[in-house]
Structure 1
Amino acid sequence: MTGELSAQVAPAELGYEGALRPATLAEFVGQEKVREQMGLLLGAAQIEGRTPDHILLAGPPGLGKTTLSMIVAAELGVPIQQTSGPAIQHAGDLAAVLSSLVPGEVLFIDEIHRMARSAEEMLYLAMEDFKVDIMVGKGAGATSVPLELSPFTLVGATTRAGLLPNPLRDRFGFTAHLEYYANAELEGVLRRAAGLLDFPLEQAGIAEIAGRSRGTPRIANRLLRRVRDYTLVHNTAPDAESVNAALSLYDVDEHGLDRLDREVLRIIVDRFAGGPVGLSTLAASVGEEAETIEAVVEPFLMRAGLIARSPRGRIATSLGWSHLGRTPPPM
């Protein structure tokens, strides 16, 4: 029986991420304004028979930047080459990628703000004139050799648009700012994913997952997978009760806080009397890197209204105290 179950589940597991990724703008759920803008940009380029303007996708992790880059290529019917900013640490790395592009190809650079400065400067000319200058030789005998490139569309993704230098940001013809999803939009994402996975989750269960997904489709799909795993192993009905049991097992509470989120909030409230507490002190208290607290935990806790920043550090709000079942001190 176990082997039979594995044989049935394995294909779905192997293609999980790919199966849930929308292939067209029409299939993409949420971000309506961005979808309309991109549809206009791509449609005009196809009518005129040219490569579309370069596109910058900015927003928090998990909102669909990589998916949208793949949709751009799919809508245009061209191949896509993917890389990331940290992988491009020298101008030569970028030159090798650019010279391998075929006409019309989409180049997707994730976390583009983390590219090396020398590569950024090379990218300026490549984006505007589809050529780069390659330095041959060293010292006084070095020579600049121009290299013509095939026309291409650059799609850059960044979680920190403010770190992009202005000359690079200004060379993108269109910048899309992705926003966190409302619960109703996340329910649409989950219904589509549940249908693709042939997992008949009840509406109450879908709403429960959406409410714990922090406004992020990637998290919603991950929690859906955990709930599906729970119903498979425990042979339970795909309903709200199974959702609550599964997410409780994985320490995801009714507001979407996980173990680390609650620990950070608890440290501020219990150990530092609600704060203020500095970032480095807070990170040391929970045994995590300061970058993790600042980039992963803090944005959600602030957006949920559970903590706030002050000139002296992080403080717990009255809502944060209440979330832990504590009574805030009198003002």
Structure 2
Amino acid sequence: MTGVDEDFERDVDGSYDASARIVDPGGDEDERRLEVALRPKRLADFPGQPRVRDQLGLLLEAARRRQRPPDHVLLSGPPGLGKTSLAMIIAAELEQPIRITSGPAIQHAGDLAAILSSLAEGEVLFLDEIHRMARPAEEMLYLAMEDFRVDVVVGKGPGATAIPLELPPFTVVGATTRAGLLPAPLRDRFGFTGHLDFYATADLAAILTRNATLLRIDSTAQGIDEIAGRSRGTPRIANRLLRRVRDYAQVHGKDVVDLGAARAALALFDVDESGLDRLDRAVLDALCRRFGGGPVGLSTLAVAVGEEPDTVETVAEPYLVREGYLVRTPRGRAASALAWKHLGLTAPATAVGAIPLPLTDEADSRFGD
């Protein structure tokens, strides 16, 4: 993978050619260098996700032996687990350039046609947040992925003419945090679908140890383990916390990320021993103290914590549900006995995990939406 000293210019269609490099046009040079340094360059260096890694390795090796572009790849999973890194790795393994764009940037079929018509043979097209692409562009992508052809419509009304445009073989790598929002015709055109799961603490510790070396951060195993255990199974969060603990250690004259620095820094940034942050604890606190453990509607809960419903649903809920602090029922959100315990409160006998709440929708939530 080449360096990041070159300047990158965005094409008129909104995409840009990363040529197997990661680029953040909105960040400064130091941030771009940092991102490049921390991202693995090859599939063998990618930590965690052994199932997806082995499946992708087989797919890419078979494509290399056939000397043909591999099938289109769809990567799904929560944010921060490495979907963009895997897309970059696919391009690097194939020794092909990569064109990067995102679903929200493609709002018209013409936007997608401009990108597709500029692709070279074997090039990788990475579509981040592919589920947010406009419907006309989706329908054009169907034909491009299956037949490597797009129909460009010239004119309007009865005099409109569709001109077929042949495309060289290429590979689409789509990334989505909400695979259920992809229409079935688009989802079925991907030859390989990989779902990324949250990382084990040991895998995160290995990632942090590697990244601390790359960033020239002195660290101890205890400090690294403390950060890994509070990173919610997400490498992006782990890397962010590592930098904040480094900042704390440097400001307080330690220059070593050890157990004491990790605990003090994470306490300062409101990350508790279980990895819950301010928003997580606010949601649990509102559920338990204001609504007696629920069930309570999402909108009511969001108002209680001063956030938008989408923020509560997409940022806080996934981790709270996965760790057993929160239960989503047809009647609303309910706090489990574990949530009461985490807040230092005594759980009522009706709390989830003590005596199960009725999960049917026979009655409305006690607190409406």
**Corresponding residue of 2:316:** 297
SS at match of 2:43: coil
TM superposition shift of 1:149? 1.1
Q: Which amino acid aligns with 1:241?
A: G
Matched, 1:78 2:96: yes
**Corresponding residue of 1:260:** 279
1:273-312, aligned counterparts within 5 Å? 273-312=292-331
Q: Using the alignment, how far apart are the partners of 1:14 and 1:21 within structure 2?
A: 11
Q: Using the alignment, how far apart are the partners of 1:13 and 1:308 within structure 2?
A: 38
**Corresponding residue of 2:57:** 39
**Corresponding residue of 1:3:** none
**Corresponding residue of 1:137:** 155
Confirm or deny: 8 A CA contact 1:12 1:197 kept in the other structure: no
- TM-score scaled by structure 2? 0.85
TM superposition shift of 1:143? 0.3
1:1-331, aligned counterparts within 5 Å? 15-236=33-254, 237-331=256-350
Q: Which amino acid aligns with 1:195?
A: T
Q: Using the alignment, how far apart are the partners of 2:29 and 2:141 within structure 1?
A: 40
Q: Using the alignment, how far apart are the partners of 2:345 and 2:181 within structure 1?
A: 39
Over residues 13-44 of structure 1, what are the superposed CA-to-partner deviations in whole Å (9 max), with x where a residue is unaligned?
55211110011001110011111111111111
Q: Using the alignment, how far apart are the partners of 1:296 and 1:240 within structure 2?
A: 28
TM superposition shift of 1:186? 0.8
Q: Using the alignment, how far apart are the partners of 1:141 and 1:90 within structure 2?
A: 21
Structure 1 residues 34 and 51, CA, compared in 2 at 3 Å: closer, same or farther? Answer: same
SS at match of 2:211: helix
Q: Using the alignment, how far apart are the partners of 2:235 and 2:318 within structure 1?
A: 17
Identity between Structure 1 and Structure 2 (%): 67
Higher helix share: 1
Q: Using the alignment, how far apart are the partners of 1:14 and 1:87 within structure 2?
A: 21
SS at match of 1:308: strand
Aligned-residue Cα RMSD (Å) equals 1.2
TM superposition shift of 1:150? 1.7
- TM-score scaled by structure 1? 0.95
Confirm or deny: 8 A CA contact 1:56 1:174 kept in the other structure: yes
Structure 1 residues 202 and 12, CA, compared in 2 at 3 Å: closer, same or farther? Answer: farther
Q: Using the alignment, how far apart are the partners of 1:70 and 1:48 within structure 2?
A: 21
TM superposition shift of 1:234? 1.2
Q: Using the alignment, how far apart are the partners of 1:11 and 1:96 within structure 2?
A: 29
SS at match of 1:15: helix
Q: Using the alignment, how far apart are the partners of 1:11 and 1:165 within structure 2?
A: 38
Confirm or deny: 8 A CA contact 2:224 2:257 kept in the other structure: no
Q: Which amino acid aligns with 1:254?
A: E
**Corresponding residue of 1:4:** none
TM superposition shift of 1:238? 2.1
Q: Using the alignment, how far apart are the partners of 1:286 and 1:119 within structure 2?
A: 37
Unmatched tracts of structure 2, length 5 or more: 1-27, 351-369
Unmatched tracts of structure 1, length 5 or more: 1-9
How many residue pairs match? The answer is: 322
Q: Using the alignment, how far apart are the partners of 1:310 and 1:125 within structure 2?
A: 40
Confirm or deny: 8 A CA contact 2:270 2:277 kept in the other structure: yes
Q: Using the alignment, how far apart are the partners of 2:107 and 2:168 within structure 1?
A: 23
Q: Using the alignment, how far apart are the partners of 1:11 and 1:254 within structure 2?
A: 34
Q: Using the alignment, how far apart are the partners of 2:239 and 2:257 within structure 1?
A: 15
Q: Using the alignment, how far apart are the partners of 2:32 and 2:56 within structure 1?
A: 30
Q: Using the alignment, how far apart are the partners of 1:222 and 1:109 within structure 2?
A: 24
List, as ranges, runs of 4+ consecutive aligned residues in structure 1 with deviation greater than 2 Å: 10-14
Q: Using the alignment, how far apart are the partners of 2:65 and 2:43 within structure 1?
A: 17
